Amino acid sequence: MSTVKTNNILDASGGNTATINSMTPTADSLQGFRNRIINGDMRIDQRNDGSAVTTNGSFPVDRYKIDFSTDGAFSAQRDTTAPSGFVNSLKWTVTTADASLGATQYAYVYQKIEGTNIADLAWGSASAKTVTLSFWVRSSVTGTFGGALQNSAGNRSYPFTYTISSADTWEYKTITIAGDTTGTWLTTTGVGIQVLLSLGMGSTYSGTAGAWAAATYASATGATNLMATLNATWYITGVQLEVGSVATPFERRDYGRELMLCQRYYQKLNGSLATYSATGEANANFYRHLVQMRSAPTVTVTTSPAYTNASSLTNDENSVTGSRFYVIVTATGRAFATDFVYACSSEL
């Protein structure tokens, strides 16, 4: 086998833009975590396992939230309709149409990217880096659709458009965005960048595509209103946000790693508590999270325990590393609260 040693690879014109397998290696594209979107291929759905959601504020798959305020209705869920190379997509279906949105009405899916994951972009400074958003999309409705990037405060926005040319056909889209040199872009565990994809937007939250604005825009002026068409469908997968002006192939992380990235913001766990105490005493256990969470989570018991000589399972303490629960003993001796399920959320 031959060995080639070199200090540099240049293209034919002497520059540094040589491509390898259709990719242009750069310091940014060669590092890990190239895609700042988590669960871009919609595989992870801890909350619903593919079941549909229909309410404002719900998560159809991990890391993607719905903001919805129209006179219509929708359902959204993980689906197995997907382009070649993918297994899942996020599907949106219009179940009640709203052909005339009010100025302040809206329907969109979005992901909030943690500030710690975009610190290197240097947005809000003269060194702000260009990024490229790419994804696969399919819809029963053709036209010019919209979306936007926003900061945490929603006072810096970049509306964009993409065109769906053929109904019920997967199409690949790329949008290149020059980094914002002004505004406040958090690099903490708060919201760094919000990536919004609109399914219908009122005029108040629609702005000129292709330019940064000091306003709360979630889509582009004149974009298609999917909510106007009863039973209309819209699918998306392979969402990627990366540094640079060229979209590279979707970064495929192994399932275990992607699940852990999602569990920083939401995780479901099983618990059981056993003790030996006198009647009326409170006894507690501390349960470690599967991974360290972004912040101390909000905890909800989703499946109540089976009790033996105990009652009143209560969560009274939470941190980024774990949660504490206690029960009240109802009869002196051994007491149990078994097989409860609880959800921890520290979503942005």
Beta-bridged to residue 324, according to DSSP, are: 286, 317
Output the pLDDT for position 32.
Answer: 76
Q: Could you report the per-residue pLDDT of 242-296, keeping only the tens digit for each?
A: 999 999 999 999 999 999 999 999 999 999 999 999 999 999 999 999 999 999 9
CATH number of 65-262: 2.60.120.260
Question: Do the strands 233-243 and 89-96 form a parallel or antiparallel pair, or are they unpaired?
Answer: antiparallel
Could you give the C-alpha distances from 38 to 34, 255, 258, 260, in angstroms and in order?
Answer: 11, 12, 7, 10
pLDDT tops 70 at residue 321: yes
Q: How confident is the model at residue 109 (pLDDT cuts 50, 70, 90)?
A: very high
pLDDT, tens only, 111-162: 999 999 999 999 999 999 999 999 999 999 999 999 999 999 999 999 999 9
Q: In what order do the strands lie in the sheet with 143-150?
A: 65-69, 106-114, 191-201, 143-150, 157-164
Domain range summary for the chain, segments of one domain joined by +: 65-262, 265-345
Specify the CATH architecture of the domain 265-345: Sandwich (2.60)
**pLDDT digits over 91-107, tens only?**
999 999 999 999 999 99
Taking 70 as the threshold, does the pLDDT of residue 23 lie above it? no
Q: What is the mean pLDDT of residues 32-49?
A: 96
Q: How confident is the model at residue 39 (pLDDT cuts 50, 70, 90)?
A: very high
Instruction: Report the pLDDT averaged over residues 38-52.
Output: 98
Please write the tens of the pLDDT for every residue from 49-80.
999 999 999 999 999 999 999 999 999 999 99
In 1-156, DSSP assigns E strands to 65-69, 73-79, 89-96, 106-114, 131-139, 143-150
Write the single-letter amino acid at 58: S
| pLDDT grade for 15, boundaries at 50, 70 and 90 | very low
Q: Which amino acid is at 187?
A: T
What is d(CA 46, CA 60) in angstroms, rounded to the nearest whole number?
10
Q: What are phi and psi of 45, to 5 degrees?
A: -145, 75
| Per-residue pLDDT at 18 | 52
pLDDT of residue 24 exceeding 80: no
Check if the beta carbon of residue 92 is closer than 8 Å to that of residue 42.
no
**Strands 206-207 and 219-220: what pairing?**
parallel
| C-alpha Rg value of the chain to the nearest Å | 24
Q: Are 275 and 334 in contact (CB under 8 A)?
A: yes
- pLDDT confidence of residue 9: 56
Q: Is the pTM of this model over 0.85?
A: yes
Mean pLDDT (the chain) is: 94
Q: How many CB atoms sit inside 10 A of residue 25's CB?
A: 14
| Backbone phi and psi for residue 10, each to the nearest 5 degrees, phi listed first | -115, 155
Residues paired with residue 150 on neighbouring β-strands, in sequence order: 157, 194
The two structure tokens encoding residue 31? 């590092």
pLDDT digits (tens, 9 = 90+) for 175-212: 999 999 999 999 999 999 999 999 999 999 999 999 99
